[in-house]
Structure 1
Amino acid sequence: MKGFLAVDIGASGGKAFIGRYDGDRLSIEEVSRFTNRPISVNGRTHWNILSLYESTLESIIKAIDSGVELQSVGVDTWGVDFGLLDGSGELLGNPRHYRDMFGDDSMEYAIGLAGRDWLFERSPTQFQPFNTLFQLISMKRRGYSALKEADSLLSISSLISYFLSGEKLTEFTFATTTQIFDPAVGDWCEEIIDFFSLPDIFTPIVPAGTVVGRLTPSLSRELGTTLKVVLPATHDTASAVASIPLSGRTMFVSAGTWCLEGVVLDAPVRDREVLELNFANEGCYGGKYRLLKNATGLWLVQELLREWKAKDPSLDYPSLVRMAGEARPFSGKIDVESPRFKRPASMERAILEECAENGPIPSTRGEIVRTALEGIAAMTELTRKELERFTGGLDGLHIVGGGVKNQLLCQLIADFTGLPVTAGPAEGTAIGNIIVQMLALGELKDFRESIELLKRSFEMRSYEPRNP
């Protein structure tokens, strides 16, 4: 049986799955799970890229040992963050963590120089302080020596693929998250690069589903395989969307640490209203675009668990969700996009302080978690209303990602939005990664065939609005 390995790395951890295809159905099997633990040095936070690469190699070895006829490997990660290479291909330090940019004013600095309208006209994405453009401007303003020495910029996913294959390429869906990509030309925006005097370090942009080559000769000898390396939809949300059998006017929510909420369109929407509402136009497989908003998601609950678990090791995520389900509804009210939640010393204290400004204050752990989940659902309803300005109406909502396991959140989203919700598959990002690999290798002839395969292979759960 043929197999395809998806390595899906998120902000808090990574997972690797083998996709097994028997010619009719696709099944997935988890082969490894690993932590992604950022490291702080002198007040700066970095991704431990070599640890992530090592975990990727271990995942490949486990996949080979599983006995499947392994065809390829593809790596997806979050967007915006990157590593720098010198002229000889050596890594110039560990990549910086996007959350470092929450205390940086480079976005405001760039807007002050160029103007929001000017930037949006050339790269119509959501203005976020951690976008690649603003990270590079921050480095340049601070005289970051690695930037002066750099020859190439690679996303985290492309960096790991480079370690595997030796090829330096940028995949389309990542490029659209940088605020340096111009959809009108389908390439890096030279006007933005020139305006901010950025160095010439941008690698060629290729479509999602590009076979970049095989493992390097040294890795092939070490691992005993000439595995193909594919750039799937390397931005994890784009991979997640590739696992959704979208039809009609359906809103999607990729629910994880962040909630990425939007619709899939054939072309970017460049209306001024998109700028005013701070939506992003981000790439999908096949050159399509996601009109979406990037909102704070289950980061709130993850941080509560981390904080409380230090004092009560018996706590786990399911127990928090269970407590929230038993808690009093509307015991507090928060705006999940409040600056309080970006890098709080205590997430519990941040939520209580936010509630104190908005009305009632939750009094139990269950009420605090429920307040966080209700805040996510409320933000989803706000996004739905805003999206309908561009779509004329929505008739359903599809949730994918780790959040589908949180049945309370799925029901709350159905109740808040008033839309019927379909949830699944749970490991949608890895499945979408595998689907794009299969398309790249000709195992599936087109995306329509992949949608039929998804419907045959995976169960979805439905939630009807019951308490709007």
Structure 2
Amino acid sequence: MKSVLCLDLGASSGRAIIVTNNNNCLELNEVHRFPTKTLNKNGKIYWDLPYILNEIKIGIKKALKENANIRSLGIDTWGCDYGWLDENGQFFRNPRSYRTSIPQKVIDEVHNKISLEEHYNICGNGHFAFNSIYQLYHDIKYENILENGAKEFLFMPNLILYYLTGEKVWEYTIASTSGLLNAENRDWSKTIFQKLELPSTIKGELTHPGTTSYFLKDEILKELDISQNIPIVCVPGHDSACAVIGANLDNNSAYLINGTWSLLGVELSKTITDLVGLKKGLVNEGSLEKKIRFMSMTIGTLPLQSLRNQWKKENEDIDFKDFSNLAKNSILDNHIEITEEFLNTTDIENLIKDKYFKKYHSVINSKEDILRIIYNSLGNNYRESLELIKTLSNKEINNVVLLGGGNQDSFLIEIIKKSFDCSITIGPIEASVTGNALAQFKSL
């Protein structure tokens, strides 16, 4: 039996999970979990990198103690965020978190230099305020980070790999979330770098996943008291790119990753940068074997999470598993638009009530109705997104594979089945870990 170690870091928690191939059945064994802590400095949020790296070392040591036959290791994380190195290859500062607001004037300035339409035509990325392109522009133009000693940036999974191995890698799938690539040729966009006056020296050549592996530095081996050195496989660094590997898609399948964000899409051999996609929030991001994930990126189960947190603060601790039963008790068939307002509100319940009243001139108050509206709205988003993807890709979709934590919500699956005019397959809940492991096994 072959085993690999997956380091899967989300924006809330990180895990070290051993995955064993036992007669073509993957067995997952979580050996370490930790919160991905942040620090607040002068109103900006940074990832606590020393803490995160230490927890990763703890996870590696625990895993090798649990299973001495681990053949390799792979790292995936959330997208867009990065850290800087100085001219000596040392960490320049903690990486800033995407949760830090980038001033609107920065975003406006970027698109005065390169229009939204031209940018989308080149990279195919959505224009979210947390995208790497805006963060980098802000660092260089407004924080003078290069003059202050920074030299190169590495995306989060590559920053971790660099710490463990000493090797600098700019992996394709994580780079494809940045707004800095030419989606057609799968490389950095010279046009974007030139128009924004970003030095080409801040990055290196792209590496495609599954093609290379690196080994732990001697000092890491010594610190962890590890006798054998295991390769770190360059798996897809972006967690959603890993998740799609776990979907096992065929040519007529789409995927729906159901988490805080919902990613619904298809894998293609080419990019689609029709401006309808720009208006509707469709993105092109990298996948294994240089494929493109053409998908909608919308707010997912975040409103449900926010409702639970708000009600808990109000001394009504309702478990997620009870949300389904409450929502089923409502007969409402309406929906509202789930927009970026939902990301930052501190009063999610009243936001839902207000949006419902403005649309239907009717009042809702019960928890059953509030929850039902969110479920209905998610289903409507998925239906509209899939229809648009089918139209723009000229692709027949006869099956959607559901991935991620949303698969534990029976009523959400019921709503999804009603929303799609095709069959539904339930894929793995631990989709990112599954894909991370499969990429490692393929490399081995």
Aligned pairs for 1:69-84 (under 5 A) are 69-84=69-84
Does 162-171 or 136-145 show the bigger shift?
Answer: 136-145
Q: Which residue of 2 aligns with 1:432?
A: 435
Q: Which residue of 2 aligns with 1:257?
A: 260
Aligned amino acid, residue 265 of structure 2: G
Contact 1:253 1:399 in 2 (8 A): yes
Deviation at 1:176, TM superposition (A): 1.1
The change in CA–CA distance for 1:143 and 1:314 in structure 2 (over 3 A counts) is: closer
The change in CA–CA distance for 1:424 and 1:325 in structure 2 (over 3 A counts) is: farther
Contact 1:80 1:98 in 2 (8 A): yes
Deviation at 1:115, TM superposition (A): 1.3
Contact 1:99 1:343 in 2 (8 A): no
Aligned pairs for 1:81-100 (under 5 A) are 81-100=81-100
Q: Which residue of 2 aligns with 1:376?
A: 378
Instruction: Find out whether 1:285 has 2:288 as its counterpart.
Output: yes
Q: Give the TM-score normalised by structure 1.
A: 0.88
Query: What is the CA–CA distance in structure 2 between the aligned matches of 1:113 and 1:183, rounded to whole Å?
Result: 19
Q: Which residue of 2 aligns with 1:54?
A: 54
Query: What is the CA–CA distance in structure 2 between the aligned matches of 1:368 and 1:9, rounded to whole Å?
Result: 32
Q: Which residue of 2 aligns with 1:201?
A: 202
Query: What is the CA–CA distance in structure 1 between the aligned matches of 2:299 and 2:173, rounded to whole Å?
Result: 20
Q: Which residue of 2 aligns with 1:455?
A: none
The change in CA–CA distance for 1:348 and 1:387 in structure 2 (over 3 A counts) is: same
In the TM superposition, what whole-angstrom CA distance separates every residue of 1:422-442 from its partner, at most 9, and x where no partner exists?
A: 12211111000000011112x
Deviation at 1:183, TM superposition (A): 3.1
Query: What is the CA–CA distance in structure 2 between the aligned matches of 1:144 and 1:415, rounded to whole Å?
Result: 52
Query: What is the CA–CA distance in structure 2 between the aligned matches of 1:90 and 1:38, rounded to whole Å?
Result: 20
Contact 2:154 2:169 in 1 (8 A): yes
Contact 2:113 2:195 in 1 (8 A): no
Contact 1:84 1:147 in 2 (8 A): no
Deviation at 1:122, TM superposition (A): 2.3
Instruction: Find out whether 1:320 has 2:343 as its counterpart.
Output: no
Query: What is the CA–CA distance in structure 2 between the aligned matches of 1:127 and 1:29, rounded to whole Å?
Result: 37
Query: What is the CA–CA distance in structure 2 between the aligned matches of 1:127 and 1:160, rounded to whole Å?
Result: 26
Query: What is the CA–CA distance in structure 2 between the aligned matches of 1:147 and 1:256, rounded to whole Å?
Result: 39
RMSD of aligned alpha carbons: 2.1
Aligned pairs for 1:50-449 (under 5 A) are 50-101=50-101, 104-145=104-145, 148-199=148-199, 200-223=201-224, 224=226, 225-312=228-315, 314-330=317-333, 333-336=335-338, 338-359=339-360, 360-389=362-391, 390-441=393-444
The change in CA–CA distance for 1:147 and 1:287 in structure 2 (over 3 A counts) is: farther
Aligned amino acid, residue 252 of structure 2: R
The change in CA–CA distance for 1:216 and 1:322 in structure 2 (over 3 A counts) is: farther
The change in CA–CA distance for 1:52 and 1:370 in structure 2 (over 3 A counts) is: farther
Q: Which residue of 2 aligns with 1:32?
A: 32
Contact 1:101 1:135 in 2 (8 A): no
Query: What is the CA–CA distance in structure 2 between the aligned matches of 1:113 and 1:127, rounded to whole Å?
Result: 15
In the TM superposition, what whole-angstrom CA distance separates every residue of 1:130-156 from its partner, at most 9, and x where no partner exists?
A: 211111122234234367522111111
Contact 2:257 2:404 in 1 (8 A): yes
Contact 1:213 1:228 in 2 (8 A): yes
Query: What is the CA–CA distance in structure 2 between the aligned matches of 1:395 and 1:9, rounded to whole Å?
Result: 32
Contact 1:154 1:203 in 2 (8 A): no
Contact 1:165 1:212 in 2 (8 A): no
Q: Paired residues, what number?
A: 439
Query: What is the CA–CA distance in structure 1 between the aligned matches of 2:340 and 2:328, rounded to whole Å?
Result: 27
Aligned amino acid, residue 179 of structure 1: G
Deviation at 1:58, TM superposition (A): 1.8
Percent identity, please. Answer: 26
Deviation at 1:63, TM superposition (A): 1.1
Misfit runs of 4+, over 6 Å: none
Query: What is the CA–CA distance in structure 1 between the aligned matches of 2:41 and 2:367, rounded to whole Å?
Result: 33
Query: What is the CA–CA distance in structure 1 between the aligned matches of 2:412 and 2:102, rounded to whole Å?
Result: 27
The change in CA–CA distance for 1:313 and 1:77 in structure 2 (over 3 A counts) is: farther
Instruction: Find out whether 1:17 has 2:17 as its counterpart.
Output: yes
Deviation at 1:102, TM superposition (A): 6.3
Q: Give the TM-score normalised by structure 2.
A: 0.92
The change in CA–CA distance for 1:66 and 1:388 in structure 2 (over 3 A counts) is: same
Query: What is the CA–CA distance in structure 2 between the aligned matches of 1:279 and 1:229, rounded to whole Å?
Result: 32
Query: What is the CA–CA distance in structure 1 between the aligned matches of 2:54 and 2:363, rounded to whole Å?
Result: 45
Contact 1:167 1:212 in 2 (8 A): no
Contact 2:75 2:161 in 1 (8 A): yes
In the TM superposition, what whole-angstrom CA distance separates every residue of 1:315-368 from its partner, at most 9, and x where no partner exists?
A: 4322334433444443x63211x2321211222232222222222443233432
Q: Which runs of 5+ in 2 are unaligned?
A: none
